């Protein structure tokens, strides 16, 4: 745990008592604060009270009877758009500062014992629309494989205040969502990464401008020593332009999978599966990414470029980063190779719940036997038609199976209904060189509680095939 600094004898209110909220309350109490808390769920409040937290209904005037020094809110709770949560509205009316655990983390990260360290700990923060979880996990994996002490947290894994105080030369790698970056009152990463931008959470941010502004705060407010910025969209090019003093300013590392970037002070790009690092007009490293099982497709090559640049920024050697790439297994449910059976590759991309992510998954492989379907989104899969030639056959499951079948038209397909039948049919019909790809292009809620459970079921079925065991239900 990282105790919160500067709260001794203060009364701090915590709104939202999920994973990050409970960790925040504990870190505040460790720092000497008196904590009062609230959650909209009666069940969650009861659990918190059983753990010794004092409750106060922060949505009502009575909850603010005693002076409150600050309100710390969980990231999923809206503070401005589409409208402030009633408890946050109370704080805004009263002039009580509103912050989140990320802000508390950055103001509490340094400690007196750092004076004895040979190398000060550093923080790498990753944000963006797509790929930030994989990029964060890949950076963490590379650091661990090369022997650097490291922890991972934020929007992935452990809440930031539940991390352990860092040791000498440690690198903390944090994934930060727009919900986290838009409110934090302190943002001081050593290295900040922006992967890309595509429409998401627009109601929360009142449009694309607000969404981009929330991401941009990590750079504009944070003042990182090194900015790693994907420049394949206008927003990324604009951000890189804002952060650099000239094209040769190597405090900004541009990354791309669409263009060669040899005219800048420092860049990392990937074209046709080859990663290249350029510095001051010279190519100083090159890596063939095509055979790296855990990083298939252009979208993962962008993640690799971002991770490469981040690890180079903290002093790792190219050969060590390349070696670590090969041992990266990928994140569960994100283009994850589950098994290779008889020359057939089985890939779990259950996280591909929308067209954008399904498009990236289909674009990463050839000779695809595609398992798709579930609670389809508006418009179905018609927009994926340019990728249909990659599909040898589609096996359609769930609520949208018949709608998808109509849109597939002449592309071979079969409505099979269930995951068990899809895996069985794909196994019977696949040939060496094929890839069986679960990329549903749909939400899971018709047959599974979430995409993780859907991916876990697929994985269990494939592993049963690999071992010859009875197929699990």
CA distance 269 to 261: 7
Flag whether 393 is marked binding. no
Where, residue-wise, is CATH 3.40.1190.10 in the chain? 110-326
Residue 241 in marked binding region = no
Is residue 213 very low, low, confident or very high in pLDDT (cuts 50, 70, 90)?
Answer: very high
Any known ligand binding at 337?
Answer: no
Q: Where are the beta strands (DSSP E) in 211-288?
A: 226-230, 252-256, 266-271, 274-279, 282-288
Per residue in 149-158, pLDDT (tens digit) is 999 999 998 9
Q: Tell me the fold of 11-99.
A: Rossmann fold (3.40.50)
**Looking at the domain that runs over 110-326, which CATH code has it been given?**
3.40.1190.10
Over residues 301-336, the pLDDT tens digits come to 999 999 999 999 999 999 999 999 999 988 899 999
> Can you tell me the distance from the alpha carbon of 215 to that of 197, in angstroms, rounded to the nearest whole number?
9
For CATH 3.90.190.20, list the domain ranges present in the chain: 336-465
Using DSSP, state whether 274 is helix, strand or coil.
strand
pLDDT (0 to 100) of residue 473: 53
Q: Are 281 and 275 in contact (CB under 8 A)?
A: no
Which tens digit of pLDDT belongs to each residue from 345-389?
999 999 999 898 899 999 999 999 999 999 998 889 999 999 999
Architecture of domain 336-465: Alpha-Beta Complex (3.90)
User: pLDDT of 215-265, one tens digit each?
Assistant: 999 999 989 999 999 999 999 999 999 999 999 999 999 999 999 898 999
Sheet holding 122-127, edge to edge: 150-154, 171-175, 122-127, 191-194, 226-230, 252-256, 266-271, 274-279, 282-288
Other CB atoms within 10 A of residue 47 CB:
14
Question: How far is the CA of 426 from the CAs of 181, 309, 392, in angstroms?
Answer: 43, 39, 10
Q: 131 among the known binding-site residues? A: yes
> What token pair was written down for 322?
């390349």
pLDDT above 80 for 401? yes
Hey, what's the torsion of the CAs at 367, 373, 379, 385, to 10 degrees?
10
CATH 3.40.50.720 residue ranges for the chain: 11-99
Query: Residue 332 has which token pair?
Result: 């569960």
How would you class 43 by CB atoms within 10 Å of its CB: exposed for 0-12, middle for 13-18, buried for 19 or more? exposed
Phi/psi at 31 (5° precision)? -85, 0
Q: Is residue 132 a known part of a binding site? A: yes
């Amino acid at each position: 745990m990282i105790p919160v600094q500067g709260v001794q004898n203060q009364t701090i209110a915590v709104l939202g008592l999920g994973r990050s909220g409970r960790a925040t309350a504990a870190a505040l109490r460790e720092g000497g604060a008196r904590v009062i808390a609230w959650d909209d769920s009666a069940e969650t409040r009861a659990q918190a009270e059983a753990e010794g937290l004092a409750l106060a209904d922060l949505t009502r005037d009575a909850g603010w009877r005693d002076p409150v020094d600050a309100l710390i809110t969980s990231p999923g709770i809206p503070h401005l758009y589409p409208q402030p949560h009633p408890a946050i509205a109370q704080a805004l009316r009263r002039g009580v500062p509103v912050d989140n655990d990320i802000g508390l983390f950055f103001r509490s990260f340094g400690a007196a014992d750092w004076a004895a360290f040979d190398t000060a700990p550093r923080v790498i923060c990753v944000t963006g629309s797509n790929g930030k979880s994989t990029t964060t996990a890949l950076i963490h994996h590379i650091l661990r494989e090369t022997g650097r002490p490291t922890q991972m947290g934020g929007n992935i894994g452990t809440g930031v205040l539940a991390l352990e105080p860092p040791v000498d030369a440690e690198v903390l790698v944090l994934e930060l969502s727009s919900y986290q970056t838009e409110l934090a009152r302190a943002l001081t990463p050593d290295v900040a990464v922006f992967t890309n931008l595509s429409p998401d959470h627009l109601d929360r941010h009142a449009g694309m401008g607000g969404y981009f502004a929330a991401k941009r705060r990590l750079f504009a407010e944070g003042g990182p020593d090194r900015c790693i910025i994907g420049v394949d969209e206008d927003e990324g090019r604009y951000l890189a332009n804002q952060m650099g003093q000239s094209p040769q300013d190597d405090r900004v590392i541009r990354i791309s999978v669409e263009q060669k970037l040899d005219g800048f002070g420092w860049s990392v790009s990937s074209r046709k599966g080859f990663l290249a690092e350029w510095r001051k007009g010279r190519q100083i490293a090159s890596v063939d990414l095509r055979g790296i099982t855990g990083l298939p497709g252009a979208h993962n090559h962008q993640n690799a470029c971002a991770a490469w640049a981040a690890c180079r920024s903290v002093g790792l050697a190219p050969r060590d980063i390349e070696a670590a790439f090969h041992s990266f297994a990928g994140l569960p449910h994100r283009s994850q190779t589950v098994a290779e059976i008889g020359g057939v590759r089985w890939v779990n991309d259950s996280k591909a719940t929308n067209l954008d992510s399904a498009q990236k998954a289909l674009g990463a492989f050839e000779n695809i036997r595609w398992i798709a379907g579930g609670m389809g989104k508006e418009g179905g899969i018609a927009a994926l038609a340019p990728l249909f030639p990659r599909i040898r056959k589609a096996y359609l499951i769930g609520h949208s199976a018949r709608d998808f079948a109509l849109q597939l038209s002449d592309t071979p397909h079969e409505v099979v209904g269930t995951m068990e039948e899809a895996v069985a049919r794909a196994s019977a019909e696949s040939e060496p060189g094929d890839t069986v790809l679960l990329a549903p292009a749909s939400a899971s809620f018709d047959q599974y509680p979430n995409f993780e459970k859907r991916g876990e079921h697929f994985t269990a079925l494939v592993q049963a095939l690999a071992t010859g065991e009875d197929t699990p239900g």
